[in-house]
Amino acid sequence: MKVKSKPLLLAVDTTRTTLRYIESILGDSYYVSTAQSGMEALDAAKAELPDLIMMNVNMSGMNGFEVLEYLKEDEETKDIPVVLVVDEKNNEIELRGLQAGAMDFITMPFDPEIMKTRLGHVLELATMRHRLEDEIEKQQQKISNMSIQSMMTIAQTVDAKDRYAKGHSVRVALYSKAIAKAMGWSDEDIDNLYYTALLHDIGKIAIEDSILNKAGALTEEEFENVKRHIYVGAEIVKNTNFIPGVIDGVYYHHERYDGTGYVGIEGEKIPKTARIIAVADAYEAMNADRSFRRKYTKEKAMEELVINRGTQFDPEVVDVFMKLLEEGFELDESAVEKVLVESENEGEAGALLRQVFNESAKEAQNELEKDSLTGFLNRRYFEEKINNYMLKPKASGAFFMMDLDNFKAVNDTYGHAAGDNLILAFAEVLRKNVRERDYVCRIGGDEFAIFYPEMDREHVIRDRAENIIEMFKQEKIAMGYRNCSVSIGIMTKLPNNEYMDCNELYQAADKALYHVKNNGKDDYHFYSFMPHDEQASDLIQKPLDLKQLMHQIAERKYHQGAYSVEYDRFSYIYQFIARNVERSKQQVQIILFTMVSEDESNRNKLEDSLMLLETAIVRSLRRGDVTTQFSPTQQIVILMGTNPENGRLVAERIAQKYRDLAGKNALRVVYDLREVPMDEKKA
C-alpha cells in the first residue's frame, strides 16, 4: 500500500489507450490505478479505497451506471466521489448520473486542464465533506457525553431525596442493561434502556422528602402521593427525543403483569422497556436497606421474584434474570461508585442543570395540578390542599359548591365550543372573587368549588356568593345565554367546630346546592340553615336560636316563578291545599306533564329534557305555584287560583317554552289537567 503523499485515483475504461492517456495527464497530481471493466473496478475499489473514481459510462458488460449503483450500496465504498466520463454532453444521461450519486461529468475528448480542474474541485469538495462529517461526529459524541452526564446528575438529584436510595437509579440501570443484553437486544437498544432506567424515578422530585423517608407504613393518601411520580415523570420527559422510549419506562415501570399496577394495563400491552425496569427496580429495592425494613438476602429477593412471576412481573424477564443470578451475576460496585463519583463532580454546568431540573419539576407538578381548560386545581389536588389546611388548629373557612344551571342546554343548542366559552367566562368571574390564598377547583364539567380559608363571617360569605351570581348573570346575558345561571351551596367551617375534611365539607355544600336546585335555582343557600331532615346527621353544627332563624328567613332571596320541591314535600303541600280549597273557595288545577320518547333507553336525553321542562315551569309561573318531578319522564304542577280553561292555556305556554329551550332536541310533551276537588277524598 502506497504512503499517500498524493491522492489515489481509480480510472475505469475498457480501452488501454485511454487509461494510459489519463495516467500521462494526471500522474503528477495523483497515484493512478486502472481497471478495464466494471467488475475489475469494484474489486480494485474494495482492495484499496481510492480517494476518487473517474469512470466511463459506456463500458461493455457492466456499464458505468451499474458500477455506480453497486458502489453506493456498499457501506465501504458509498462515500467515494465518482466522476463519470461521457462521449458527448447529454442532459438525460447527466441527470441519471446525478440521481445515481455521481458528483460531476467530463466529456471526451479530454481537455487536460479542464479535466484536472474538475477532478480537483470534486476531490476538494469531498475532502471538506469528510472533515465536516468527522467534526459533526465529534460534536455529537460531546453532546452525547454531556447528555449522559446530565442524566447522571438528574438521577443523583432524585435519589438524594431518599437517604436510603443512594445509587438506586444507577444500579437499576445496570441490572436492566444486563437483562437486555442476555435477551439479545442490540447495542443501541441496550443503551437507550440504560438511559431510560437512569431516569425511571425522575418524577419523585415532586414528592415530599418526609414521605419518601417515612419509617412506618404509608397512609392511603401518602401512597396516592407517591403514585403521582409516574405522572410527574412522564410530564418532565415527554419532549426528550434523544432517548427513544424513555416515556414508556418512566410512565409504566410500576405496571403489574396481571393488570393491577398504577395505570392498569397488563401483559404484553406493557412496553418491554418498562417490564425489564420493573424487575430490576424491585430486585435492587429488595437488596437495599429502606426506611421501613432491612434489606433482603440475595436468596430471599430471588425467591420473591419467582413467587411474583406472571402476576407482578413478566415471566420471560424473570426467567432471564434468574438465570443470570444463578450463574453468579453481580453488579460491579466499583463501576457503580465510578458513575456516582463522576456525577458528583458536576462543576458549574452540572449545578446549573440541577437548578433548572428542580424548577422544571416544579412547573410539571403545577401543570399536573390544574384543569386544562380553566387553569384551576383539579379535584385531587384541591382536596389535598384543603385537607392539609384543615390540620391546622382552629382551621375555619367557607366551602362553595357551584353548578351552572341549564349548561347542558347551551352545549346542545350552541355546540361545545360555546359551552367552553361559557365555562371560561364563569372561571373569570370566580378569579375576580377569590384571594391569592383561596383554593379554586373545577370538579368536572359545569361543577366548580371554592374554599375560602379563614372566611367564616356570614355577611362576608353572602356578599361573595351574591357577587358571583350577579357578575355571572351580566356575563351570560352579554354572551346571549339568558337561560343559564349559577346555583351555590355553602358549608361554613367555624373555628370551634370539630375537625372536617374536604369530603365532609363537599358533602354538606352539595346538599345545600341540591336544595337550591330544587327551589328555583339561580341562588345560594347555607347548609346550616337547611331543614334538619336534609342535613347529614354526622355533621355537627352550632344550633340556631329563633332570632337567628327569623333573620335567615327574612334575608332569603325572593324567588320569581314556581317552587320546585321534592316529591314527598309536594305530597304534603297537595294535601294541605286540598284540605283548604273549600275554606278558601279558590280553584286549584293540577297538571301532569309527560315526556314521550321513542328511545327511552337514552336516559341522558330524557334527564336533560325534563330539566328544561322544569326550567320552563319555574320561570313561567307565579310565585306560589308548586312543581316536582314525579318520575324520570314526568313533572307535576299545582296552579293556585286558576280555572280549567286558564290552566290549559298555562300548560300550552309551558310546553311551548320547553320547545323553545330545547330547540331541535325537543321531545314530545303531553299533559293531563284536573281540578283539585274541594273534598280531598274525591281527588
Transcribe 544-609 into DSSP letters. PPHHHHHHHHHHSPPPPS-EE--HHHHHHHHHHHHHHHHHHT--EEEEEEEEE-S-TT-HHHHHHH
The C-alpha cell that represents 553 in the structure block:
328567613
Look at 671 and 572; give whichever has higher pLDDT. 671
Which pLDDT value is given to residue 474?
A: 92
Write the pLDDT tens digit of every residue in 527-573. Answer: 876 554 455 433 334 444 555 444 444 444 444 445 555 555 556 56
Average pLDDT estimate for 133-142: 66
- Averaged over 379-395, what is the pLDDT? 85
Which of 9-18, 84-93, 602-611 has the lowest average pLDDT? Answer: 602-611
Confidence at residue 98, expressed as pLDDT on a 0 to 100 scale: 87
The mean pLDDT value for 309-336 works out to: 90
Max avg pLDDT among 123-137, 483-497, 554-568? 483-497
Q: What share of the chain is helix, strand, coil (3-state, %, to 5)?
A: 55, 15, 30
Show the cell assigned to 565. 320541591
**Is residue 220 over pLDDT 80?**
no
**What is the pLDDT, as a whole number, of residue 10?**
94
Judged against a pLDDT cut of 80, whether residue 158 lies above it is answered with no
* Residue 579: pLDDT band with limits 50, 70, 90: low
pLDDT in the model for residue 560: 46
pLDDT (tens digit, 9 = 90+) per residue, 393-423?
A: 889 999 999 999 888 888 888 888 888 899 9
pLDDT at 680 over 50: no
Answer whether residue 75 shows pLDDT above 70.
Answer: yes
pLDDT at 291: 59
Three-state DSSP state, 272: helix
**Among 1-10, 274-283, 336-345, 348-357, where is mean pLDDT lowest?**
348-357
CA-wise closest residue to 55 among 11, 6, 121: 11
Mean residue pLDDT across the chain: 81
Whether the CB-CB separation of 644 and 672 falls below 8 Å is answered with: no
Return the pLDDT at 20.
92
Res 92: pLDDT: 86
pTM (global) more than 0.75: no
| Lowest model confidence (mean pLDDT) among 333-347, 509-523, 636-650 | 333-347
What pLDDT, on a 0 to 100 scale, did the predictor assign at position 254?
Answer: 94
| pLDDT at site 81 | 93
Confidence band (pLDDT; 50, 70, 90) for 361?
low
More confident residue, 362 or 466: 466
Average pLDDT over residues 193-210: 83
Q: Euclidean distance between the first and final Cα of the chain, in Å?
A: 119
Q: Which of 460, 472, 449, 451 is nearest to 521 (CA)?
A: 472
